[in-house]
């Protein structure tokens, strides 16, 4: 496999984490413009852990996800009363506050003759884990795909549980949920926290892969893209967001001559698709119909 192809696939896998993170929030009925902050938290925590504190990478990944998850829990707690555009903008503020704060944190360090450490707008360079451990791009792709695969399996199993049903109930009809004794705020907090965890994990891998991260990478547009993938792919199943990623980065990128106009085409395509599929391609109604057909007859 060529390095170019492996790179593209790795990037697709990494952004899939972010798209799945947006998906988890969409499931409980909210649109979040702030998931990129959790991605960024994961990235910076892993960078700091592996470079400055020489933490073993597995531990660093989990720690990053945990930190991002806790921050997401904080956001969820603060925004319990908010919904719709209010929640969306609040999450956007939160994310921008994070990014802008990063610009102010300047703690450059020199290690092994190279400049590293979080240095405001210059970012955090020389995250050398893949070099120090002789990881080729293909190896990293395998690692990322393994993690993504594990996440998808987990989501696939959770999908069939009552937890997921109640979460979707809360997302679809809050009032109906309450009338059935389901506690909306609990599900909101859990799923937003989980979304932070997932995004943080993705961000951690991103930091290792990119070897250089800076605050500008975690701006609004990153979150908006991930959200778009999630929405067009569909909210019916965890594979939905991945399809959204595949359509943009996979399909459109691969059509020659189209790639510089990719965003123009993708944007228009999604808007048109939304007219026909307001809940995405792999939408809940479609998934439920397939499930009920394939179910052993009642």
> Which positions lie near other proteins, rule CB under 8 A?
31, 78-79, 81-82, 84-86, 88-90, 93-94, 96-97, 100-101, 103-104, 161-162, 165-166, 169, 172-184, 220-221, 224-225, 227-228, 231-232, 261, 263-264, 266-268, 270-272, 274-275, 278-279, 283-285, 288-289, 292-293, 295, 298
Nearer Cβ to other proteins, position 89 or 246?
Answer: 89
27 DSSP assignment: H
In angstroms, the Cα distances linking 161 to 29, 157, 211, 267 are: 18, 7, 39, 34
**Distance, CA of 7 to CA of 1 (rounded, Å):** 10
Nearer Cβ to other proteins, position 114 or 289?
Answer: 289
Instruction: Decide: helix, strand or coil at residue 134.
Output: coil
Least CB distance from residue 171 to other proteins, whole Å? 10
Least CB distance from residue 7 to other proteins, whole Å? 22
Least CB distance from residue 30 to other proteins, whole Å? 10
Residue 236 and residue 287 in contact, taking contact as beta carbons nearer than 8 Å: yes
Nearest one of 150, 130, 147 to 46, comparing CA atoms: 130
Nearer Cβ to other proteins, position 55 or 224?
Answer: 224
Nearer Cβ to other proteins, position 57 or 237?
Answer: 237
Nearer Cβ to other proteins, position 138 or 246?
Answer: 246
Please classify residue 38 by burial: count the beta carbons closer than 10 Å to its beta carbon, then call 0-12 exposed, 13-18 middle and 19+ buried: buried
Tokens of 174: 């809050």
Residue 14 and residue 144 in contact, taking contact as beta carbons nearer than 8 Å: yes
Least CB distance from residue 133 to other proteins, whole Å? 36
Residue 198 and residue 53 in contact, taking contact as beta carbons nearer than 8 Å: no
Residue 247 and residue 287 in contact, taking contact as beta carbons nearer than 8 Å: no
Least CB distance from residue 17 to other proteins, whole Å? 20
Least CB distance from residue 277 to other proteins, whole Å? 10
Least CB distance from residue 43 to other proteins, whole Å? 20
In angstroms, the Cα distances linking 248 to 17, 39, 176, 238 are: 15, 20, 36, 17
Nearer Cβ to other proteins, position 169 or 194?
Answer: 169
Tokens of 21: 């993170």
């Amino acid at each position: 496999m060529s390095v170019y192809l492996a790179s593209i696939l790795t990037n697709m896998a990494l952004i899939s984490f972010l798209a799945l993170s947006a998906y988890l929030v969409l499931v409980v009925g909210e649109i979040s413009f702030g998931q990129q902050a959790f991605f960024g938290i994961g990235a910076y925590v892993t960078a700091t852990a592996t470079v400055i504190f020489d933490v073993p990478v597995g531990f660093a990944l989990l720690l990053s996800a945990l930190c991002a998850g806790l921050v997401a829990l904080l956001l969820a707690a603060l925004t319990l009363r908010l919904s719709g555009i209010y929640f969306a903008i609040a999450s956007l503020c939160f994310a921008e506050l994070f990014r802008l704060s990063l610009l102010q944190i300047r703690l450059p360090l020199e290690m092994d003759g190279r400049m590293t450490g979080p240095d405001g707008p210059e970012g955090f360079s020389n995250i050398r884990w893949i070099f120090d451990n002789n990881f080729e791009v293909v190896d990293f792709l395998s690692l990322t795909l393994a993690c993504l695969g594990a996440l998808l399996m987990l989501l696939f199993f959770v999908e069939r549980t009552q937890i997921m049903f109640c979460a979707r109930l809360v997302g679809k009809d809050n009032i109906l949920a309450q009338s059935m004794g389901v506690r909306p705020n609990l599900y909101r907090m859990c799923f937003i926290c989980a979304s932070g965890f997932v995004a943080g994990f993705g961000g951690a891998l991103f930091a290792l892969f990119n070897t250089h991260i800076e605050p500008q990478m975690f701006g609004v547009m990153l979150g908006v893209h991930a959200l778009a993938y999630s929405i067009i792919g569909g909210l019916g199943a965890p594979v939905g967001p991945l399809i959204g990623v595949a359509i943009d980065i996979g399909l459109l990128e691969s059509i020659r001559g189209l790639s510089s106009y990719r965003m123009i085409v993708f944007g228009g395509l999604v808007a048109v698709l939304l007219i026909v599929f307001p809940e995405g391609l792999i939408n809940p109604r479609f998934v439920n119909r397939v499930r009920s057909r394939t179910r052993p007859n009642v």
